[in-house]
Amino acid sequence: MSALPASTACLAPPAPADAAAALRLPLAGSAGVPLARAWLALGVAALIGSGLLALVLVLSRTPGIAAVFPLRDLFRAALVVHVDLSVLIWFMAFAGLLWSLTCGAAGSAWGRAGWALACVGTAVMTVSPFLPDAHPLLNNYIPVLEQPAFLTGLAIAGVGFALAFGRGLWAGWPARSLPPGAAALQQGIWLAALAAALAWLTLLWTLWQLPPGGGLAWFEFLFWGPGHVLQFQHALLALVAWFWLADALGCRAPVAPSTLRALFGLAALPLAAVPVVLASTEVGQAAQMTAFAKLMEHGHLAMLPLLLILAGRLPALWRQPGGPLKSALLASLLLFAVGGLLAFLIRGVNVVVPAHYHGSIVGVTLAFMGLAYLLLPALGFRPPAPRLARWQPWVYGGGQLMHILGLAWSGGYGVQRKVAGVEQLLTSLPQKIGMGMMGLGGLIAVIGGVMFVWICLQAMWPRPAQRD
């Protein structure tokens, strides 16, 4: 199997000698690299827009500063587009990158069409708040602006992503000629495409079953099931990233690739319940909403064997020399674990809920950031700036950790979610301390996000041709 380019040497220690068991995809000369580069560019562009809006969100909820903003409309419209760019578009774009690498040249026209549609849809979504009649709805998973332009952009992007995961399902199953380690990772990526396909099928089924309508409750029902199913895609790709990064750091899992393939299959096995839920419950009814919530709550426990394997490698990872990959992997696992633990503290509808999912989402984001650092040279870009990239995950992850702990603290004192400014009703000192901590952590996290975008732009931006 082809090794990663020599230019990645600054990022990680030498890979173990057994190349056949190495947990990395053979990228040298891959026909999927050009489209993977394009998907990464879309993901970075989405993070740029999301980061600008995140600054507005943090300031609009920080005590003292919030009083100077026209909070209600600005906060909610910014929140809708921020969430969609930072979670839906960024995660799906990075998934498109990985599906492109597993597909090679197969269905390349299909893949390019998917990327182009995703770009057009993202652009329309981004400018839609500046168009007339943008009515923000803060439903779960994919909040929307109830406006023709935004919804059209979302639909176009959705078709683009459907082409991407459809191609991944069709052409991304690991070939028999692949080395065992690469096949294990590629199976995880293929199973993520399966999760995406089930999420989109759930969306189409729900759209067919729901009576025509609109408003907050209608969109909540529409995206509730698909949103819960889509979390399996994100979790599977995070697992792929963690094992790939650990292997690049010389800390290969002490299990055979065939065992890893079986455990990836186990992690995806709860997806078999999705058709059962759809067939046995009614759309929009409490039974179906509870079933999807339980599927995510209990289904992710099937990841535990893989997570325990990773946990067993933590001492070895800790002993590795510092670098971007180590920082990203450790920060990612920490935030993901904190987010999972906070799920057990949720009592009612307060800001403990966003503290939980911010931890989990940021854990996945950091995993993708670390994998992006590893892949930049393999995709034909320059290596990331080593010192800046080493500290970026800790700045971003540390700020987010402060952010979510502030939210969790405030939630314990009854601060409600999806409100800002005076609507938060911050009457006690503990509430104000918690939300102030949230605001400071959020600002630090924005700085960390800007650092990631800057690092990627430095590596990806074409250098002017040198004159003789």
Q: How far apart are CA 157 and CA 134, in angstroms?
A: 19
User: Is 3:19 a contact under the CB 8 Å cutoff?
Assistant: yes
- pLDDT, position 129: 81
Q: Find out whether 300 and 235 touch, Cβ atoms under 8 Å.
A: yes
Question: Can you tell me the distance from the alpha carbon of 115 to that of 160, in angstroms, rounded to the nearest whole number?
Answer: 6
**CA torsion, ordered 248, 249, 251, 253, to nearest 10 deg:** -30
Beta strands per DSSP E along 69-143 = 136-137
Which residue, 176, 187, 130, is CA-closest to 153? 130
Kindly state the tokens that stand for 410.
Answer: 């405030």
Residue type, 81: V
Which string of b and e fits 53-87 if b means at least 16 CB within 10 Å?
A: bbbbbbbbbbbeebeebebeebbbbbbbbbbbbbb
Q: What span, in angstroms and rounded, lies between the C-alpha atoms of 304 and 301?
A: 5
Place of tokens 């709805």: 137
* Residue 127 neighbours by CB distance under 10 Å: 13
Among residues 135, 145, 146, 136, the alpha carbon closest in space to that of 214 is found at 146
Could you tell me which residues are beta bridge partners of residue 144? 137
CATH code of the region 249-253+313-459: 1.20.120
pTM across the whole model: 0.88
In sequence order, what DSSP letters do the residues of 205-252 get, joined into one string? HHHHHSPS--SHHHHHHHHHHHHHHHHHHHHHHHHHHHHHHHHHTT--
Q: Tell me how far apart the alpha carbons of residues 448 and 455 are, in angstroms, rounded to a whole number.
A: 11
Please state the separation of Cα 314 from the chain's center in Å. 22
Residue of 434, 242, 436 lying closest to 331 (CA atoms): 242
Nearest alpha-carbon partner for 368 in 11, 79, 92? 92
The helix/strand/coil state of 46 is: helix
Neighbour tally for 255: CB within 10 Å: 16
Largest CA distance in the chain: 71
**Gap between the terminal Cα atoms of the chain:** 38
**Cβ pair 122, 48 in contact under 8 A:** no
How far apart (Å, rounded) are the C-alpha atoms in residues 306 and 310? 6
Domain positions in the chain: 27-172, 178-231+264-306, 249-253+313-459
Sorted by sequence, the CB contacts under 8 Å of residue 408 that are 6+ apart come out as 342, 345, 351, 352, 355, 434
From the list 385, 461, 400, 364, the residue with the least C-alpha distance to 88 is 364
pLDDT of 9 reads: 39
**Cα 89 to the center of its chain, rounded Å:** 9
For Cα atoms 192, 198, 203, give the angle at the middle one, nearest 5 degrees: 130
pLDDT tens, per residue, the chain with 468 residues? 333 343 343 454 444 446 667 888 888 668 899 999 999 999 999 998 887 777 766 666 666 555 555 545 567 777 898 889 989 999 999 999 999 999 989 999 999 999 999 999 999 998 888 788 889 998 989 999 999 999 999 999 999 999 999 999 999 999 888 999 999 999 999 999 999 999 999 999 999 999 988 999 999 999 999 999 999 999 999 999 999 999 999 998 889 999 999 999 999 999 999 999 999 999 989 999 999 989 988 898 999 999 999 999 999 999 998 899 999 999 999 999 888 777 666 655 555 666 777 788 899 999 999 999 999 999 999 999 999 999 999 999 999 888 888 777 665 545 544 444 444 444 555 656 666 777 788 888 889 999 999 999 999 988 765 444
Integer Cα distance of 278 and 291 in angstroms: 10
